[in-house]
Amino acid sequence: MAKAGYSVSTSVDVALVATTAKTVLAILAPAQFGVDLRGVEVAFDGVTTTDKPVLVEIGLCTFATNNTPGTNNTNETANITQIYGRSVVTGFTAFSNTTAAFEPTVITPVKILRLTPNGGTYDYDWPLGETYDSAVSNGFVLRCTAPTSAVNVRASFRFERT
């Protein structure tokens, strides 16, 4: 079966505040199909070597609330780009840089790691057969918590339709 692949990234640096969990990037599937998460990138711009590592969580999300940018929240719309395959209308939506009052709900972490904010970078592609996929009308979030200091983060997802 032919696949179609997509990418979505934060449109600006996302500022983290110490000890506050923040959804940096989110992708939501329509009612017709799910999201097959193929890869993720995360990069910080910190310069202080004494900063403690940032908790990075990649999670499945039902988006029970706060799932549409600009509707009941102030999340920024993130642009989805098709990177391979036949061009079809997808229906995916994505957003980044949530505000504390509008964090998505019902998140189940599937990957948890800690990265140094001092220029820490993570770029990972899941091997074939080991990707995470969501149910229809669900998707994925990338959430970060900086324990001690403010730092900026950029992130992207690579994904396919399921």
| Six-digit token string for 36 | 């097959």
Can you tell me which residue has the tokens 């505000």? 99
What is the pTM for the complete model shown? 0.91
Q: In angstroms, rounded to a whole number, what is the distance separating the alpha carbons of residues 15 and 119?
A: 14
- pLDDT of 75 reads 67
5-161: CATH architecture: Sandwich (2.60)
Supply the pLDDT for residue 68: 63
- Domain residues of the chain, as ranges? 5-161
Residue 5 · residue 82 · CB < 8 Å: yes
**Closest C-alpha to 78, from 86, 68, 66, 64:** 68
Low-confidence ranges of the chain (pLDDT < 70): 1-2, 66-75
According to the model, what pLDDT value does residue 78 have? Answer: 84
- Give the up-direction half-sphere exposure of residue 121: CA atoms within 13 A in the CB hemisphere: 3
Q: What's the confidence (pLDDT) of residue 74?
A: 57
pLDDT digits (tens, 9 = 90+) for 42-71: 999 988 888 899 999 999 999 887 666 555
Q: Give CA 79 to chain center in angstroms.
A: 12
What is the C-alpha separation between 65 and 87, in angstroms, rounded? 30
Mode of pairing for the β-strands spanning 80-84 and 14-16: unpaired
102 secondary structure, DSSP code: G
β pairing state of 35-44 and 76-77: unpaired
Instruction: Measure the CA–CA gap between 40 and 52, rounded to whole angstroms.
Output: 22
